[in-house]
Chains A and B, each alone.
Chain A
Amino acid sequence: KNQVEQSPQSLIILEGKNCTLQCNYTVSPFSNLRWYKQDTGRGPVSLTIMTFSENTKSNGRYTATLDADTKQSSLHITASQLSDSASYICVVNVTGGGNKLTFGTGTQLKVEL
């Protein structure tokens, strides 16, 4: 069982609409939780990083939330654009893991006209 699970697996939305991606994790304890955007065949690019004491972090149209009690995080994308089409990956950094990252399998988002 993956320690970081994401839902939905894939999502198609119309340009301009909002969407929310979910992440549930069992990794514990953790030092921070990150959301990455990965275009096909490219390396992941960091969107947000939250420590266990933070419960929200924004980066432009991207807003991440974290509930450390329920071990859930979400990534909300507002006013989606065609360029938002990518895989969005939730990543947990294990405390004392030497910056070893545990990745979810990602949500594949497609934004259409």
Chain B
Amino acid sequence: ETGVTQSPTHLIKTRGQQVTLRCSSQSGHNTVSWYQQALGQGPQFIFQYYREEENGRGNFPPRFSGLQFPNYSSELNVNALELDDSALYLCASSRRGGQEQYFGPGTRLTVT
């Protein structure tokens, strides 16, 4: 166990809806990164948050947004869901400048 938790475990939404996924980082970690992993693929970097500010973003549209809270937990919000958004969403926490990222168990999102 890495100490990184995510909720919910599974989620089913319909096209056009909005979803919020949550991540609690490991104690002592101030950086959270979010990844999208489609079936059979490696994770793709969505964005990273450090001290409540976005600190780098991958090739994802603006309908993917996030927040980081003072306790370093984080949310990933996706608006106007599309079928292709169906994936495992992973968050990873780390110390700023640290080499190691610790992953949570992921949230499996299915869009129908």
Contact = CB atoms under 8 A, between A and B. Distances in A.
A99 interface: yes
A70 B100 CA distance: 24
- Provide the main secondary structure of the chain A interface: strand
Contacts of A103: 35, 42-44
Interface residues of B, number: 31
Most B C-beta atoms less than 10 A away, residue of A36, A43, A105: A43
Contact of B56 (A31, A42, A44, A98): A98
B48 A44 contact: no
Interface string A23-50: 0000000011000100001111110010
B16 to A, nearest CB: 26
Top-7 shortest CB links A-B = A103-B42, A43-B103, A98-B56, A105-B42, A103-B43, A43-B105, A44-B103
Interface of B: 2, 4, 31, 33, 35, 40-45, 48, 50, 55-56, 58, 88, 90, 92, 94, 97-106, 108
17 contacts: A36-B103, A41-B108, A43-B90, A43-B103, A43-B105, A43-B106, A45-B2, A49-B99, A89-B42, A89-B43, A98-B50, A98-B55, A99-B98, A100-B56, A101-B43, A103-B35, A103-B43
